A and B are shown apart, each in its own frame.
Chain A
Amino acid sequence: MPLRAQILETLQRDARLTAAEIAVMTGSDEKTVTAEIEALEKEGVILAYKTLVDPERTQSKVTCLIEVSVQPERGSGFDSIAERVYRFPEVKTVFLVSGGYDLLVMVEGDAIRDIADFVTDKLSTLPNVRSTASHFLLKKYKEMGTILVEHRERERMPVSP
């Protein structure tokens, strides 16, 4: 596996590892790893280092998944309308998808009221938006590959042959 791929795999498991640690874990040296990470950042392969937090324990926000059907535009297709949507700071995620609707939009607000306002005032009034269907998020089970619900302890024997 090339070093680049190894670094990415390692960082995606734990973004807090230092370049020195990654160097040890990949059998490389710190300088090379540092340079490679800088290149990955510069090229926009690594976009951000964030923390995955269990929403159940910090819960204060309301999240809503909104299916949006839009009329694509000549020349820019879905991109310009998508931009009109993702520029709103309360919008956390925007995906263009195939199937019964076009954009899947995830919105966060302090209360249901905020999201209702966002949908009626800002989203559905955009010129190319044909319709929306909102689904409030009730519970997260898994996010970005991490299972959020079970903090099941492994039942391994502490010492075994």
Chain B
Amino acid sequence: MKPQTIESSQETVSPPSRRRVNRVIEAMPPSGIRKFFDLVMGRPNVVSLGVGEPDFVTPWHICDAGIHSLEMGKTSYSSNQGITELREEIAAYLKRVHQAEYNPADQIIVTVGGSEALDLAFRAVLEPGDQALVVDPSFVSYAPLAAMAGGEPVRVATTQEEGFTPRIEDLERATTERTRAIIVNYPNNPTGATITQEKLEAIAQFTLDHDLILISDEMYHPLTYEGTSPTFAALPELRDHLILVHGFSKAWAMTGWRMGFTAGPVDIINGMLKIHQYCMMCASTPSQFAALEALRHGADEVEKMRREYDARRRFVVHHFNRIGLDCPTPYGAFYAFPSIRSTGLSSEDFAQRLLERENVAVVPGTAFGECGEGHIRCSYATSMADLRKAMQRIESFVQSL
């Protein structure tokens, strides 16, 4: 079965006498991804590099643990924070991989994907009018989530030259007395960028200097190439200011299970837990058992997928550069973010014309913020056969310009 869209109802609503939808929500622009999704749907034979999730199915032993939990009748709510064994396993993982000690009793919450953890973080930290620094380009949810939490997202520009990490002077310039939080994401969606230890420490120092809360989305942390990625959690001086967001969607190929987690200082986690307990109760119980298996026995499968992404990564970077689309080497996640400036087209035009002419879907960089202009995001969580086809088609598209 292919994903289907359902026609939205076209009925016209007469102007209501009273406001019916919250002004912040109503003013929020629809996601740039959504627009492209609509363009792609209904076109046959599209090769898509637009997908932000693994092409692998969840490793079978993880599915099996989920199925087994259902057979054992694990169909009730779990504790609000998540099942104890899973929180303990997460704490052990964070200690092992992020060199960070978190108490599973009061410093970890199992969430409905990393998405919920991000929402909890903004809502627990921001008050009306508080500002949150959001690196540009970045994952599509950050700015809207900050705004829906009542805060005001403030975008901080980055460039390819700076490796898509913010310069400290730009962070300083964007900071006011209303700034409360900053959110960063390395390895990064959409750029594939990782961060150096030096820059990481500088951002940590900046956070401490201004007494901010740093939300670090380390969703792609297990997926790095040619070396590992430094983690904010490993900095002891930052611990009291750090909300770590992580999850199983990407590295363990578990997007549909909706499994994420967050770790942080006791007071903030306690605040996040209040929101979670009222709006979510708990994450899906069978998914929690699957996640437990993923942490206990999933490392080999993650490594196998990582190696395959790595081979594809080298393949796409090589071909983009060969075609003449300057492609900075991505060292993490599963995205390449080549520059299309040499074509003279805007990101949006490039993506739209590429789709119309060659049936290849990519996401314009501008879907992730203004600084994405001049780039397209290409996911290599795509089979080699499709990548090969896509690169041939992109080449003939670029030559036709």
Contacts and interface: CB of A to CB of B under 8 A. Distances in A.
Interface of A: 1, 6, 9-10, 13-14, 21, 24-27, 153-161
A158 B318 contact: no
A24 B33 contact: no
A25 to B, nearest CB: 4
21 contacts: A6-B307, A13-B384, A21-B315, A24-B318, A25-B315, A26-B314, A154-B57, A156-B51, A156-B55, A158-B3, A158-B41, A158-B51, A158-B361, A159-B33, A159-B36, A159-B37, A159-B48, A159-B50, A161-B31, A161-B33, A161-B189
Contacts of B307: 1, 6, 9
Interface residues of B, number: 31
B41 A160 contact: no
Given A14-B384, A24-B314, A25-B311, A161 B141 contact: yes
Nearest to B38: A159
Interface in B164-183: none
A24 B315 contact: yes
Interface string B1-27: 111000000000000000000000000
A13 B307 CA distance: 12
Interface of B: 1-3, 31, 33, 36-37, 40-41, 46, 48, 50-53, 55, 57, 139-141, 189, 307-308, 311-312, 314-315, 318, 361, 363, 384
A32 B175 CA distance: 52
B2 A153 contact: yes
Nearest to A14: B384
B312 A25 contact: yes
A158 B40 contact: yes
A53 B141 CA distance: 44
Contacts of B3: 155-158
Given A25-B315, A26-B311, A156 B53 contact: yes
B55 to A, nearest CB: 7
* 3 interchain residue pairs of minimum CB distance: A159-B50, A25-B311, A159-B37
Given A10-B311, A25-B311, A26-B311, A157 B51 contact: yes
B51 A27 contact: no
Nearest to A22: B311
A149 to B, nearest CB: 15
Nearest to A9: B307
Contacts of B314: 24-27
Contacts of A25: 311-312, 314-315
Interface-centre pick from A10, A25, A155 (highest chain B CB count, 10 A):
A25
B304 to A, nearest CB: 9
Contacts of B311: 6, 10, 25-26
A154 B55 contact: yes
A161 B32 CA distance: 9
Contacts of A21: 315
Contacts of A13: 308, 384
A158 B33 contact: no
Contacts of B363: 159
A161 B52 contact: yes
Contact of A161 (B46, B139, B361): B139
Given A26-B311, A160-B50, 5 more contacts: A13-B308, A25-B314, A154-B55, A161-B52, A161-B139
